Amino acid sequence: MLRQRTKKLRGDTIIEVLLAMTVIGLVLGSSYAIANRSLRIGREAQERTEALKIVETQLERLRTLSGVQDNGLVDITNDFCIDQSNALVDFGVRNDFDSFTETVTDETVYPDIGGDRPCNQGTEERYGVTLTRSDTPETYTFTIRTRWESIGGGPLQELTSQYRIYPAGNTAFQALLPPPAPTPDPSTLCQDNAGGATNVGSPLPCEYPPAVTPGFDPIIFYSIGADRINIVTYISGLNLNDDIVSETGHIYVQGNNSSVTLETNDVQKEIDTNEGEGGIAIDNRIYGLTKNTEYTVRPYITIGSDRFYGDATTFTTENVVAIGDVGPGGGKVFYDKGNTNGGWRYMEAFVTNTSRFMGCSDPGTKLGDSIGNGLPNTTTMDPLCGSASPIRYASNFTRSDEDDWFIPSYHELNMLITNRSAAGLTMSGSYWTSSNSSSPWTRAFYYRNTDGGGSYGVLNDTNDTHKIVVVRRF
């Protein structure tokens, strides 16, 4: 008698289905978050660039208008802006912007003139522009303020700049200066015994004043960037004709050198500017500097054959790190958090391409997946792992005297894979993370493929090997 054999078919368990759904949810959620954040960062950068262009346009119009007699700037005390025809648009009020939270479309702040809103500029008139004048006995300072509301919401954004006018060097503002001293009585003039008599019959001998010694105001830094500096110095007390002042400018040298002069060495650079009567404003833009580097800047003026120097000022250019730069540990920068909360802002990575199995004991708890969790994950797992494990490899890794490397968390590795081209990193295949699954699968650690795939590797499975990339933060 023949017996018919029946083959039993086994389906997926409910736990396997739930685990697969969890992995899919994590991948979709993280992809959406990364795309959304990249879009927001790009939009904010575009908005700030447009705001800066609007401020620069107002500044150029202000510079042009300030040199014109009867320009209206002398008498205005309210907030205002300058339209495309270089005409002042008076707001009629002076606002307290430190505590003011107007909307950019507020007609009580930004004037509406017959349907035209000359002080709302840029894309879709989203940027409100105001200029405010504040006075001191020697200077008149104009604050240019641009405010806008981000497309994605959030607090009101603002960008400001300042422009100073010195009446001594500006004919339009001469009327604001104290009246000149009256002309002396000719009978009181002295007699020049050398032959240049102004009043030969006077019994008074001439007392000659000392040679002209100009006064240097402190250096004004408009802005300092990673590779440039905008700098202004005002020289007063001259009362000279233009042809007597033969040279003005700023000199600079890398490092701290308070006695820097034109003759010190060839590193310095002379930048000439135009001079005026009574006072001279030296306005220079110095380019081609090195980021995060100390420089010494010193103003100077040449009068006839005499050269005078102002005080030297030392400053340090900004330390701006870009994706793809080489970090302090010799790795490539792949992530910028945007702030220094927690004592770090950037992450750098070094790809080893060494393949190993995990070789660790079960931690018995869920380790973090987020950006910032890689270092504590590695610290937690280090005593649970063998000497050949990826965790120990990262803990013992040293490069460029930096020894605080670690295995990235799940989302740190995702960010690294996403930015690997921009960072200049060559990666292929699958790489370990320091993040694991939830209980009861805490012995299963994630790995990620550069093509976007990934799964779990069991801690003590010697056949389950993946590559190692170590990262550090600074």
Q: How far apart are CA 58 and CA 122, in angstroms?
A: 12
- Collapsing DSSP to helix, strand or coil, 447 comes out as strand
Task: Identify the weakest region by mean pLDDT among 54-63, 184-193, 460-469.
Answer: 184-193
Q: How far apart are CA 329 and CA 471, in angstroms?
A: 9
| Domains observed in the chain | 45-175 (no CATH), 212-320 (2.60.40.10), 322-473 (no CATH)
Report the percentage of the chain scoring pLDDT > 90: 14
Q: Hey, which of 27-36, 158-167, 262-271, 457-466 has the most confident mean pLDDT?
A: 158-167
- Would you list the DSSP string of 118-148? TTEESGGG-EEEEEEEEE-SS-EEEEEEEEE
pLDDT value for 194: 43
pLDDT value for 412: 92
Q: Hey, which of 3-7, 299-303, 395-399 has the most confident mean pLDDT?
A: 395-399
Helices H, strands E: what count in the chain? 5, 20
H/E segment holding residue 248 = strand 245-254
Residue 397's pLDDT band (boundaries 50, 70, 90)?
very high
Mean per-residue pLDDT of the chain: 77
What is the pTM for the complete model shown? 0.42
Using the structure block, give the residue that is written with the tokens 């005078």.
308
Decide which of 274 and 69 is more confident.
Answer: 69
Using the structure block, give the residue that is written with the tokens 């992995």.
23
Minimal CA–CA distance to 415: which of 34, 26, 22, 27? 34
Decide which of 388 and 307 is more confident.
Answer: 388
Non-local CB neighbours of 44 within 8 Å, separated by 6+ positions: 150, 152
Half-sphere CA count of 410, side-chain side, radius 13 A: 21
Q: How far apart are CA 133 and CA 142, in angstroms?
A: 4
Q: Which residues of 392-424 are buried (b: 16+ CB within 10 A; e: fewer)?
A: bbbbebebeebeebbbbbbbbbbbbbbbbeebe
Query: Is pLDDT above 70 for 401?
Result: yes
Q: How far apart are CA 386 and CA 393, in angstroms?
A: 10
Non-local CB neighbours of 440 within 8 Å, separated by 6+ positions: none
H/E segment holding residue 250 = strand 245-254
pLDDT value for 458: 67
pLDDT value for 253: 80
